[in-house]
Every structure is written in structure tokens, then in C-alpha cells.
Structure 1
């Protein structure tokens, strides 16, 4: 929010935020604090005193939004809970963010990145085939959830601007990780071949043939040969070997079934070639290939320099480092790093001296759902495109999916003539579908007439596609100055890599993430084959940016062009790691599932098939609680283990002790016992366990909808949060391609059925 221009005031206690003291540190500065609080002002208020509480309440008079992450009920016990805040300022939005939310059976549990990832089901799909699960690098899950919190908060602020009424919002990071990071019940794309994850075999089956990683002269490349045309190009590149000449190899399924025979031929082809040579040659042939780059290569690459993806500056007093330069570009300008995080209390006098006008209490009534009355033209495809529009439809927007059978959305490849496939059904529920050919002059004219009556246009085409159609932002703005256009791409719409094909696994490889997402004991045990990250994460960035632009439009009256790159979403999620790498070269490496700074941490095998639990000891008290729960007083009393440094030094011995204890227990038994003892722990569940999870049920985070063609209702997310007034999403089915063409043409374009018939015959419209 601060990147997008909000005046964000960090309120700290006299001792400072906990993240100031957390590892990793450099020069006495906490790098987590530096990368999560830049662009903000900072004040110190002692909320344990009446003076401090009074100062906080005074600041609320001029505020639009409060974000708080205190333990559930803590602020209410001090007499300054959300109800008190909103009574003082009825327009105020108060968003509470905790590991498991304000309500539900897990409310008081300990959370961590490792625990949330395990409990979300994502962990059981991460790791090399037939090996133990593997923790993804960094804090990808909670950082993705944090972006969704921004969307939730701005959604409520936008509604407050329209209605005059504030809102209380309860955000659970667990709920959001389940929905956002690698959603087990969400849209899976090619990583699941259109199947629900519920139907895939448990564990980490071998899916490496989907986006194979192949060694070459100076490392590895990753490729995706999807179409028959791409296979023919690769077949020719290999010298047209007779064993692969059968026409059936043009089918994806045949190549998957015979990958063990195809792979050696490709390995031989690439053996004497560098990554750069292979990527360049493949691009010329129209084959999707990406280099498996390292973090250091990314930080020094021409592409990120051309895009200004990172910036070098003072990130803490007298500490200069490299930091990702923001998630989003608005109108070609990067909304990123402007100034360092505040010193403790740096702006207290300044902020408290500012005079603020109390907010009015007028209630304008009106909308129930925050985006009611908004119209969105959705040109998006596959996961990023579908999910961005779906999130807006959930909140009341009229989302019209504009699509063309001749260039069909990849999510539709699993559809049947009279039935949506699971993938398109999950990603496009709640939308309407208009069959329209934008390549025709008449089709473009009809689209522009729709733009004149719309608020948002969504697209994640290859960069330059809209311009080639004559539908670039400048042209659409001339039709409707209030239009907000979102252009999402893999590697950005500028820079030397912008033309590369943008499949998610290739993005992960290009930006160095795949090299980090591997088992540290093996150079080629990569573990990201089954995930769809960063697709869902980038869509959350897009929706948050849209809300910021809509809020801006209420003041300015004009729209915006928003550019989102999946690449930069990854950079921002790994901001702390990249900053540390710039300060300590070589620190950004694959670390597996253990914490660098305390022990015991990691995954421990439990009783049962593919059964693991995640234990994440953080601090001396949690260590003592764990030892007590294991009935190991000898460990608790051993002075060698009394500090985090001592425990890290003896990690192997402690891991063996914990593993011996967990081996005889089921994962949920370990989870429940340790959480009751105050230890961060979570069962590494499989997808089906989410359907019966008591916390998700208690918080009504999952629902179902009836989709024509399916014998039983399909599961769906009901999140993203618990609102005081905003209703939960209305679950509606997904349309077949062109299912709403006549209705949209009658309602918005004033076309008769005869007009529609004529345009269908001409190929301009389809139903």
C-alpha cells in the first residue's frame, strides 16, 4: 500500500517491532524489518498506558484503514479493539491479521511459514519425485497471503468510500495460504493436466515430463513442448530420429508416455551447448525453453536492469543494499522503493503534531457487495487471467469473459462441447462469456463500445498483443478516460526477455527460483514440478493494484494502466533474501526444510503412508515446551541446548530425538499435542483433508457450487476473509464459451437477434 502511495504509519511499542530483532541481521539491522517497512513513517506509542491509547485513538480520526496483527483479543482487552475504533470513526476499516484469525478452533495456535505451508496441503506436493516433501524457499506462502490482505483491505476501503460505512475484517493467514499459494482446491493449469488435485495420486509422483529440466554444457534448461508445431520443430532440431517419426508423437500424451525414450535424445542434443545458445535457438524455433538461472545471475542480468526491477539504496541507517523495486507499474512508472524503513520513533513528534479532521458519519447506503455496479472485460487466459477476474466477480462485479474459439484460452483445452472442464469451471465461475473475434474490424469496434461502458479491462496476453490489435491502453483511454487496464505478463512488457514464453515453471526457472527450490543434498533434485506458483500470487497482485486504482479514480476521475510481471512478484516475495544476497554474496542458496537460525525445525516422518509433520521451534520457550511434550527432561536440562545457537550446533542429534518420537504418532496427533503445548507444529496434510478441516469449516472458508455437466457440486473457496458486513461470495457456475453472447449484445450493444445472427455468420461473434 505504501508503494502505491498510501501514507502508512507504523505504530511500534517502546521496545520496537519484533522484526527489528529477528534474524537475519546485518550490521545490527533486521533485514526482515528493512524489507517490510520501507516507504513508511514510524511512531512509538505505549498502548499499555492511557496516554498511548489516547494518542492512537486521536490518529484514527484522519485514518482510512487500520492494520493490526496483535494476538486475538489483545487490543479489545486494552479497550481499543475494532469496535471502539470504529465507534470513534464510523468510516474506518479495521483489518486484523493473525496466523489463524480471530475465530475458530486454531485461533490461539502458533504459526510459521513452515507450519502454514504444511497445513495448507502445498507441502505434500513440493519435492522431488518419490522423495520426502520439500519446503519452498523463502516465505512465498505468507508473502502471497500478505498481498491478498492488501486486496481485502482496499476492497473494504473502496466500499467505505462508496457507502460511508467502515468494516471490521478478520484475516487468517492459514485461510489465505490455503487459497492463494498453491491452492489444493483451486485452479491448477497444466501442472495438473486439468484434473482436480483430489484425483491425483498422493505424494510426489513423477511429473517431470510436463516441464522437463535438461542438463547442458553450463547448467540446466527447462522446456515445455505443448503443441504439435513445437514438437515438429524439436523433432527437426534433434535431426528427425526415426524412432520418433510416428505422427502420434505430435500428441502431448504420447510424448509424456514415452518421455524416458525422448529424454536421452534431448540430453545428447544439449550436451555441448550453453544455456544461452539453447534458449536463443529455441526461441527461433518457437519452442518454450528457459535457463535455470541463479540468484546472482538475476541480480546482474540486463533484463532486470532494463526494467529497474531492483534498486540500490539506503535500506537502513548507513546500510546500502539491493532491494526489489515494487510489484507494479502504474502508467509506466514503477511503484516501488522510495525511502528506507523508519528508525524507532523517527516520526513520532511529526505525526502527533499533524492536525486531522474527524471523519464524517454520513451513511450513503447503496451497494451490498463492494464491486456491485462495476463492469470488467476479461481477456485473461489460464490461471493468472482467470483468477484475477474471478476474484472481482466474487465481490459483485459483472465480469464478461471475452474469448475466441480460434485462439482458445488454454484453460478451455479440457472442456467438452457441452461441459466446462474442471479447470475452467473453477477459474471462471461467476462470469459471463462473450464470443468475440478481436482480429476483425467489426469485433474491435464492438469491443470498444463495451469499453465505453466498462471500468476495467484485464489481459495477460504476450506483451505487444493488444497493440497489434489496435487496442493498447492509449486507444482504450481515448474511448473511456476512466478505464483501468491491467496488463499481466511473465517477465514484464519491457526488457530483453519480455518476448519469452510465459509459462509459470519457465518463469520460476528464469528468475532463479527453481535453483533454490531443490533438495540441498542433490544438484538436480528439483522440487517445484507440481506447483502453479507464481500464477495465483500474480493474480492477487493484480487485484490489489486494481483496488488501488479504483480508489484513486474516486478522486481523480481517470483510469490507469497497470502492469504486473510474475517475475517481479517472485522478487518481492523474496525481498529479504535478495537484500541479504546483495550484502552477503552466496547466502541465497537452497536450504531445504530447516530453519537456519533455530532447531529443531523441519519435517519429521510420522506413522502412516507419506505421513509427515512440520515442527518449527522458535525461541527457548518453544524448545522447552517441545522437550516437555516429548517427556525428554534430559534434553530440556542440557545446557548445550539452552540457546538457539547451541541447538543449531547440535541439530542432527535433536532431529534424531524428535524423529524417534514422531515416528510412532499420526501427523495430526503430533500437531494437536504440540500446539496444545505452545509449539509451532502442523500436519503436512493432503488435499482431501482440507474438505474436513475443522478450522476452515468453522470459518466458512470452503463452499461448493453446482456446475452443469458434473454429477456432484464442485468445491470452491468462499474467502478471502471474514467481514462484518460484506457478504460472502455468491457461488455461480462457469459459462461455456459464448454462452452469454446474445444477452450481452442485447443488453449492452443494443443488437437484435437478427444482428447477432448476421455477426455469427460472419465469424465476428460466437455462441
Structure 2
């Protein structure tokens, strides 16, 4: 089958979550992604001996060829530039300045291949006063206000459970690369592009910013499971007899459907709850009244009831339930595989769907460190086996 980026070659120097997710999406869209790691492997691969660390590496590095290359060695740098000559995109998410110190900065790469799209991911960008701050998902969540806006107002702030800064940046980096490829197709011009984690995360604060400006800065930043902008009610996670369920009413029709489904006309008639504005003003009373009713249902029974009555809701599910989700498995978004290194694991494919293509068809598990080094050097640079072995002996690979 023909995928959108078939024929596009990507050199992937990325590590951990941010960059590898961008290149994973490119690989899943048909690009040939060559993951280039230092001889000891990238940082996430090195964690694979720790509990559970193998899973994210396998998730983010499927459908990629992999080779090792010592970019600190002059010969390693030469080999990379030879690969650059044949490639469309180079992606890295080193700290700002690292590529220049390796003598592989924008000017050098562009001289090797004027049509190369050079894509860089970073924590705070290549310029500005925060440029050199260490950037991990946790630190970026702290710097962007995500941690300050997460949790209960009376308790200390907490980080978001998912690695939102890394993956938001990875998605934006993928979008920037595809935009640059589109421009090059139309104009022949190749650009250098960058995406910072901090700037990718900022738009997710929309509701928090609305609350801040709407209250003149007076409202508590943390709203727990309530609407972040405190402009909708009911909007919360409510208890059931065996767990929790999330319920949201976006408009008055949803509110009417909810009270009808729960058979509580007294709430509909209560003058404190007639409009969304009044319900927001009396939020504690609304949530208490709803919770008293939801406790009498099991999670599954309440979900079925509310869905039948068109009330927006969802059960709060465990990770085990999500991993085994029948909807995601039927669509091919998740699949169980026998990984050659990690055994039986469940892995995601791509959330991007292209008409006529099966998201699961082309899936290839992540490869062991340097598995394709010899093949890539022989195919792309016409080196023979003896030359490759000599490079190994010189610790270039």
C-alpha cells in the first residue's frame, strides 16, 4: 500500500519522548526513518532495564530502522553528513548548542544538502533567557503553569499524570515537519524549523487563562475535577457504588437530560439550578446533590443509563481497562504483539488515519540497538563488510 510519506527519508537523532513521537508519526505515515543512536544507545533505551521502561521505548520506535554512530568522532560526523546528502529531513531534540558543538549546525547541514529540512525540538527554544535551562516534561509542566493549575485548591499542586509537555511538543514538531515538506514540494525551499515544549503547552491553558482573566486574578488556579474555567456545572467526577463516572453538561439541554435520566425533577425545579450561571454560582450544592444520586448506581449501570439519555459522560477507567479497550483494538489503534526483546506487549499504532490504509498493516516492532547499522551503511554509502568492521574497531559505530 502507498502511504503519504513513502519515499521520504528521515534521519532521527531524537531521544526520550518528544522527538521520537514526532518521528514515530512520520514512520507510521510511510517515511523511512533511520534512528541514529550513540554506541551505548539513546537515554530511553538505557532505561529499559528499569521496571516498565521498555514499554515506552517500544511504543515510540516502531517502524524505524536503527543504527549506531559516534557523532563525536570525526569519521562518525562524516558518515552522518553523507547520509544527510541522501535524506529529506533531519530531526533532533538535543539541548540548544549541542549540534553546533558537534560541528553539525544548520549551516553545515545545509551545505551538505540544500533541500534538507532541519527540525529541532527543545524545551524553551533556541533563543531567549530560558534557552539553556534543563527541560524535561516535569520541569516544563512547572514552568508553564500546568502544575500550579492541577489538583485541589486546598492541597499542594501536582503534575499532570501523562507526559503532556513531551507529547504536545512531539505532535507540534510532526506538524512543523509536514508543513515544511509541503512547502518544499510547492516551492523547492527547505526550511529549518524548531518547536519548544513550553510554547507547545501554552495553548492547553485556555480554560485556566479564561478563569484567571474572568476573575481578575482572584480565583483559585486549581479546580480539581471541575471545569478548569469554572464556567460549566455539572462538570465533575462523581462517585458510584464501585468507582467513579465523569459527567459534563455543556448546555441546558444536557442538564435537562441528566435530571430526567436520574429521575430527580426536584433539581430541575430548584431555582438555584435553573441556568448554567446559577448552577456555577451554586456549584457545591449541585455536585453534592448529583453525587448523592450517583452513589446508588454501579459505574456500568449509570453509564448505560446516561448514554441512553444522551448525557455526555464516561466511566473513570483503569489503565488495565484502557490497555484492553475493545474499541481501540477493533480499530487497530492498539494491538498485542510478541516483541522480539520485550515479550508480549500492547502497543499503539497511529492516531492519524489515511483513507484506504490500515493503521496496523505496516507495523514493525522497535529494533535492538544498531540492528540495521551494517545494512544502512552498505545500502546507502556503499561500504563493504570489511569497512563496517573497521569502523566498529575504531569505535565509530
TM-score by length of 2: 0.92
Q: Is the Cα–Cα contact under 8 Å of residues 403 and 436 in structure 1 kept in the other structure?
A: yes
Corresponding residue of 1:614: 246
Query: What is the distance in 2 between the residues matched to 1:568 and 1:442?
Result: 36
Deviations 1:269-313, CA, capped at 9 Å, x for gaps: xxxxxxxxxxxxxxxxxxxxxxxxxxxxxxxxxxxxxxxxxxxxx
The reply on whether 1:644 has 2:276 as its aligned counterpart is yes
Distance change (3 Å), C-alpha of 1:719 and 1:440? closer
Q: Mapping of 1:224-303 within 5 angstroms? A: none
The reply on whether 1:740 has 2:368 as its aligned counterpart is no
Query: What is the distance in 1 between the residues matched to 2:208 and 2:48?
Result: 41
Corresponding residue of 2:61: 428
The reply on whether 1:558 has 2:168 as its aligned counterpart is no
State the Cα distance separating 1:584 from its structure 2 match.
5.8
The reply on whether 1:376 has 2:14 as its aligned counterpart is no
State the Cα distance separating 1:421 from its structure 2 match.
2.5
Q: Which moved more, 1:590-599 or 1:539-548?
A: 590-599
Q: CA RMSD in A?
A: 2.0
Query: What is the distance in 1 between the residues matched to 2:206 and 2:356?
Result: 35
Corresponding residue of 1:678: 310
Equivalent position to 2:225, from 572, 576, 593: 593
Corresponding residue of 1:132: none
Q: Is the Cα–Cα contact under 8 Å of residues 66 and 369 in structure 2 kept in the other structure?
A: yes
Corresponding residue of 1:454: 87
Q: Is the Cα–Cα contact under 8 Å of residues 257 and 311 in structure 2 kept in the other structure?
A: yes
Q: Secondary structure at the match of 1:705?
A: strand
Corresponding residue of 1:750: 382
State the Cα distance separating 1:579 from its structure 2 match.
6.8
Deviations 1:73-127, CA, capped at 9 Å, x for gaps: xxxxxxxxxxxxxxxxxxxxxxxxxxxxxxxxxxxxxxxxxxxxxxxxxxxxxxx
Corresponding residue of 2:134: 501
Query: What is the distance in 1 between the residues matched to 2:173 and 2:160?
Result: 25
State the Cα distance separating 1:585 from its structure 2 match.
4.1
Corresponding residue of 1:47: none
Query: What is the distance in 2 between the residues matched to 1:410 and 1:440?
Result: 19
Q: Mapping of 1:476-625 within 5 angstroms? A: 476-522=109-155, 524=156, 526-528=157-159, 530-575=161-206, 577-578=208-209, 581=212, 585-586=216-217, 589-595=221-227, 596-608=230-242, 611-625=243-257
Q: Is the Cα–Cα contact under 8 Å of residues 147 and 160 in structure 2 kept in the other structure?
A: no
Query: What is the distance in 1 between the residues matched to 2:350 and 2:388?
Result: 38
Distance change (3 Å), C-alpha of 1:743 and 1:696? same
State the Cα distance separating 1:737 from its structure 2 match.
1.4
Q: Mapping of 1:89-100 within 5 angstroms? A: none
Distance change (3 Å), C-alpha of 1:635 and 1:530? closer
State the Cα distance separating 1:413 from its structure 2 match.
1.9
Query: What is the distance in 2 between the residues matched to 1:545 and 1:461?
Result: 17
Q: Which moved more, 1:675-684 or 1:459-468?
A: 675-684
Distance change (3 Å), C-alpha of 1:578 and 1:529? closer
Give unmatched runs, 5+ long, in structure 1.
Answer: 1-366
State the Cα distance separating 1:605 from its structure 2 match.
1.4
Query: What is the distance in 2 between the residues matched to 1:675 and 1:456?
Result: 46
Query: What is the distance in 1 between the residues matched to 2:331 and 2:244?
Result: 25
Equivalent position to 1:703, from 325, 335, 339: 335
State the Cα distance separating 1:698 from its structure 2 match.
4.3
Q: Is the Cα–Cα contact under 8 Å of residues 616 and 681 in structure 1 kept in the other structure?
A: yes
Query: What is the distance in 2 between the residues matched to 1:629 and 1:584?
Result: 34
Q: Mapping of 1:75-474 within 5 angstroms? A: 368-406=2-40, 408-415=41-48, 421-474=54-107
Q: Is the Cα–Cα contact under 8 Å of residues 402 and 435 in structure 1 kept in the other structure?
A: yes
TM-score by length of 1: 0.49
Distance change (3 Å), C-alpha of 1:656 and 1:704? same
State the Cα distance separating 1:583 from its structure 2 match.
7.3
State the Cα distance separating 1:388 from its structure 2 match.
1.3
Query: What is the distance in 1 between the residues matched to 2:206 and 2:252?
Result: 28
Query: What is the distance in 1 between the residues matched to 2:279 and 2:80?
Result: 63
Give unmatched runs, 5+ long, in structure 2.
Answer: none
State the Cα distance separating 1:641 from its structure 2 match.
1.8
Q: Secondary structure at the match of 1:382?
A: coil
State the Cα distance separating 1:485 from its structure 2 match.
1.0
Q: Is the Cα–Cα contact under 8 Å of residues 370 and 726 in structure 1 kept in the other structure?
A: no
Q: Which moved more, 1:753-762 or 1:629-638?
A: 629-638
The reply on whether 1:475 has 2:92 as its aligned counterpart is no
Q: Secondary structure at the match of 1:723?
A: coil
Distance change (3 Å), C-alpha of 1:733 and 1:752? same
Equivalent position to 1:668, from 276, 288, 300: 300
Distance change (3 Å), C-alpha of 1:732 and 1:374? same
Query: What is the distance in 2 between the residues matched to 1:463 and 1:453?
Result: 25
Query: What is the distance in 1 between the residues matched to 2:42 and 2:119?
Result: 17
Q: Secondary structure at the match of 2:226?
A: coil
State the Cα distance separating 1:718 from its structure 2 match.
2.9
Deviations 1:539-572, CA, capped at 9 Å, x for gaps: 1101111111011001121211111000001112
Distance change (3 Å), C-alpha of 1:465 and 1:513? same
Deviations 1:182-215, CA, capped at 9 Å, x for gaps: xxxxxxxxxxxxxxxxxxxxxxxxxxxxxxxxxx
Query: What is the distance in 1 between the residues matched to 2:135 and 2:105?
Result: 20
Query: What is the distance in 1 between the residues matched to 2:335 and 2:66?
Result: 23
Q: Is the Cα–Cα contact under 8 Å of residues 706 and 732 in structure 1 kept in the other structure?
A: no
Deviations 1:429-472, CA, capped at 9 Å, x for gaps: 11111110011111111100000000111100000000111111
State the Cα distance separating 1:577 from its structure 2 match.
4.3
